[in-house]
Amino acid sequence: MKLRHAAAMMVIALADLCANAAAQSIPDSLSGRTIVTYVTGQSVYIGAGHLDGVWVGSRVMIVHGGVPVAELRVRYLSSHGASCELPSGSASVTVADSVRFSLERKALPSRDSSATTIAAAHPRTASPRNASWAPSAGVRGRVGVSYLLVSPRDSTQGRIAQPAADLRLEGYNVGGSSLSFVLDARTRRTYSNPAGGESSSDGGTRVYQASASWNDVRSGARVTLGRQYSNPLSPVSLFDGATAELDRRNFGFGFFGGTQPDYQSLSFSGAIREYGGYIQIHQPQQSPDAAGFFRRWSVTMGGIGSFDHSSLNREFLFAQTQYLDRRLFFFATQEVDYNRGWKRDLGESVLAPTSTFATAQLQLSDAISVHAGFDNRRNVRLYRDFISPETAFDDSFREGYWSGLSVMALRHLRFGLDARASSGGTSGRADSYTGSAGFERIFPLEGSVRFRTTRYTSDRAEGWLYSGAIGVTPAWRLHLELNGGARDDRYPGGAPPASASATSVRWLGVDADVGLARSWYLLLSASRTSGGGEGNDQLYTTLSYRF
């Protein structure tokens, strides 16, 4: 049984990795472009910082499938990265989603500036900048409690209840020092009451981040200890260990050593040890052009060795490049395995290219953009709080190549076309064609309408998927959204195989996001899924306090 709001669900697939950037669907002020680099808890990390025109409090919009799905505000940032707060009830945001942001129109200070600088939670280091861009030193965070109830519509199955709590703390220049820290942890307890069976319970706590950092803003040196994520070392994802980095005006380098947490529970594990380093060349500090745009580029290269206890697991080289300006966005990564020892004995070549990902978008005009990409990565670790039949469908079509077109009309109307050929994942060899449309900021209730339809064919099945959402804001601090969809499969060759799910799935949900006070937030959600072996009713509520 899939839990729609299963807390801290880890999915080994990257959903819809085409970084569609529907620039024409965003106000002209949101001219900067980058991608989502990491998602956890109520935070979204993006690959752009104050040297790229982002500042604290600036508006950030996430674009998924050619349509804006969430609007965020920047809370903390460093030179080339930022941490944004994800409001409760927002649509799913995934790694590599396109990001649009406002650009700072002022010239940036020089490295000799005496302004106070605060380090961001994830980005590798911070550089001196104007004090008005920096968050105040101290501790900020979020604490929340939630409750999930799942009632299967099949009387032969039992009910599941899951209370949970989460805590996120971020400290910057604690006590006026150069020390910062971040803690992101969640605990939950699951009670199962199967029909005609004995009740049971289990629980656990997962730690997504727990690290302390020391950084010297003048030299650009930074040392981080604990469970962490590093943008330049994205091929290793989350790890427990130490990182030492130096970021200068137009180059940077760093080294790390540590272990991978347990795959299932995220508990500490010493089974897989990893070591490596990188060097990066990037653009120096710059002022915007006459139109207020920044050009950004970077090239990162490195090597990583992974060992399972005392045995060789994997050694590989990696390269990552990114370029963006007013019209063009390009991002690509490539890994090359270096095989020796028992791998050579099995007939592997010395160098073997693996795990390629590339995406590009070209803005043809203010109203039209085109995009394309390729992805053959086998496994990508992704942390999610929301799973629906739609996201599960997109996961199965991740690997392959794609291209698409996005168009804006009448300022608030957006629509897009996307063609995708998949070669891996659970769908096997498959082709899909998607049309999407959205209409945002419908006055007077600040309403929005989004719709999507996908036609797909594979070696085993063919069918249609439809999904949509209607949202309104009838009162200050209250947002309501009705969402749902349907998926219908057909098997031209005859009856579906025994491993296939039902040929028809329907889902319908309603969400209410309420701001109770300045720092208190309440989310109420209900949904129903029918068919596909997933028939159930779900109720979910969460209350959080942010400080």
Strand blocks (E) in 153-271: 159-172, 179-193, 200-216, 221-228, 239-247, 251-259
Average pLDDT of span 52-62: 70
Among residues 349, 404, 345, 397, which one has the least CA distance to residue 372?
404
Mean of all residue pLDDT scores within the chain: 76
Among residues 226, 203, 426, 236, which one has the least CA distance to residue 318?
236
Quote the tokens at residue 10: 């880890």
Give residue-wise pLDDT tens across range 485-540: 999 988 876 656 554 544 789 999 998 988 887 788 888 999 999 887 668 899 99
For 333, residues 6+ apart whose C-beta sits below 8 A from its C-beta are 234, 235, 318, 319, 320, 355, 356, 357, 358
- 331 φ, ψ (degrees, to nearest 5): -145, 135
Of 181-190, 313-322, 492-501, the least confident: 492-501
Write down the pLDDT at residue 51: 57
Among residues 518, 479, 545, which one has the least CA distance to residue 89?
479
Strand blocks (E) in 445-494: 447-458, 462-475, 478-490
Write down the pLDDT at residue 486: 94
Confidence of residue 31 (pLDDT cuts 50, 70, 90): low
For 219, residues 6+ apart whose C-beta sits below 8 A from its C-beta are 246
Confidence of residue 335 (pLDDT cuts 50, 70, 90): very high
Of all residues in the chain, the percent with pLDDT exceeding 90 is 24
pLDDT higher than threshold 80 for residue 197: no
Write down the pLDDT at residue 410: 76
Distance (Å, whole) CA 26 – CA 281? 30
Among residues 63, 50, 19, which one has the least CA distance to residue 288?
50
Quote the tokens at residue 272: 């897989």
Give residue-wise pLDDT tens across range 62-109: 775 455 667 777 766 665 677 777 654 444 566 666 787 765 433 223
Question: Using alpha carbons only, what angle is made at residue 11 by residues 6 and 16, rounded to the nearest 5 degrees?
Answer: 110
Among residues 20, 114, 14, 34, which one has the least CA distance to residue 74?
34
Distance (Å, whole) CA 166 – CA 249? 38
Quote the tokens at residue 533: 């072996």
Q: Are 161 and 2 in contact (CB under 8 A)?
A: no
Quote the tokens at residue 184: 């992101």
Greater confidence (44 vs 241) lies with 241
Greater confidence (224 vs 263) lies with 224
Confidence of residue 158 (pLDDT cuts 50, 70, 90): confident
Could you state, in order of their start, the residue ranges of all structural domains in the chain? 9-546
For residue 317, the cross-strand partners are 303, 336
Question: Using alpha carbons only, what angle is made at residue 538 by residues 7 and 45, rounded to the nearest 5 degrees?
Answer: 30
Q: How far is CA 390 from CA 49, 484, 535, in A?
A: 32, 9, 15
The answer to whether the predicted template modeling score (pTM) of the entire model surpasses 0.75 is no
Residue 273 CB-half CA count within 13 A: 8
Give residue-wise pLDDT tens across range 417-475: 999 998 766 666 889 999 988 887 676 777 888 899 999 998 778 899 999 989 888 88
Q: What is the DSSP string of 11-73?
A: EES-S-------GGGS-TT--EEEEEEEEETTEEEES--GGGT--TT-EEEEEETTEEEEEEE
For residue 265, the cross-strand partners are none
Residue 491: exposure state from Cβ atoms within 10 A (0-12, 13-18, ≥19): middle
Among residues 255, 61, 267, 43, which one has the least CA distance to residue 170?
43
Average pLDDT of span 205-209: 88
Give residue-wise pLDDT tens across range 271-312: 999 999 999 998 886 655 555 566 778 899 999 999 998 888
Question: Using alpha carbons only, what angle is made at residue 327 by residues 321 and 331, rounded to the nearest 5 degrees?
Answer: 20
